[in-house]
Structure 1
Amino acid sequence: MNLFTRRGFDAFVKTLPGTTFVNQWDGHVAKVGDKVFTLLSEGDEARIVVKCSEESFEILTALDGIGQAPYFAKRKWVEIKASAPLSEEELVHYVTRSYELVAAGLTKKLRLELGITLPVA
């Protein structure tokens, strides 16, 4: 599976409960409960945008090919280029973590309706 392709991205993201897709911002956007948690842009160089913790933000943005995501709220959103030194397993982790961070902000009622159970912190 290659998350930097539309096919691989969709195949993985569909496994996360309550996700929907829209095409906006020149990208393929995944949402949970109508809130963005990741997006794929397949332009000149494919890239994925995810939300992350402050600690992960500091670690990730120190790596080549990863920086603060343009047009997203200050910090905590990173843009990961296909050339970044992350394994597929690490990329899956960060997309999943982004999903969990965004889903945690939904109401309990909506999480229940969408079938979302989050790991205990």
Structure 2
Amino acid sequence: MSLYDPAGFDAFAASLPGGTLTDQWDARVAKVGGKVFALLGALGKGEARIVFKCGEDSFEILSAIDGVDQAPYFAKRQWVSVSEAADLTDDELRAYITRSHGLVARGLTKKVRQELGID
């Protein structure tokens, strides 16, 4: 199932350690330890987009792809917004979202990571 489909996005995000989902900002938001690591936006309001955190090197690579932009309202050069039309497979998106989850989880306290079974 496509990650641009809410059920596919939910299933994948919830499968990551400590992954939770909520509706926020007119989007489906995936969090770990209360911190956002990805979101599926524009539900029913146009083209679906997936937003996630990335490292500087990944930002350079991803932003060179048509359909991938700096995510509005997120930290500059650390978050990208990927349209459904972007030339990325679901497997590639899953890998980037998994990395995003890891980046955000590393920023959690050791206690929270242990409570979530991450470490």
> TM-score surpassing 0.5?
yes
- Mapped partners of 2:21, 2:8: distance in 1: 14
2:64 is matched by which residue type in structure 1? Answer: A
The superposition leaves residues 17-64 of structure 1 with CA deviations (integer Å, 9 ceiling, x where unpaired) of: 111111111101011001000000123111100000100001100110
TM-score, normalised to structure 2, is 0.95
Query: Runs (4+) of structure 1 moved beyond 3 Å?
Result: none
Contact 2:14 2:21 (C-alpha < 8 Å) held by counterparts:
no
- Mapped partners of 2:115, 2:16: distance in 1: 14
1:16 is matched by which residue type in structure 2? Answer: L
1:107 is matched by which residue type in structure 2? Answer: T
CA RMSD, Structure 1 to Structure 2 (Å): 0.8
Query: Which ranges of structure 2 fall in alignment gaps of 5 or more residues?
Result: none
Residue of structure 2 in register with 1:70 after alignment: 72
Structure 1 window deviating more from structure 2 (54-63 vs 18-27): it is: 18-27
Query: Which ranges of structure 1 fall in alignment gaps of 5 or more residues?
Result: none
Structure-to-structure mapping, 1:104-119, within 5 angstroms: 104-117=106-119
TM-score, normalised to structure 1, is 0.93
Q: What is the number of equivalent residue pairs in this alignment?
A: 117
Residue of structure 2 in register with 1:6 after alignment: 6
**2:87 alignment partner, SS class:** coil
- Mapped partners of 2:46, 2:24: distance in 1: 17
Work out the percentage of aligned pairs sharing the same amino acid.
61
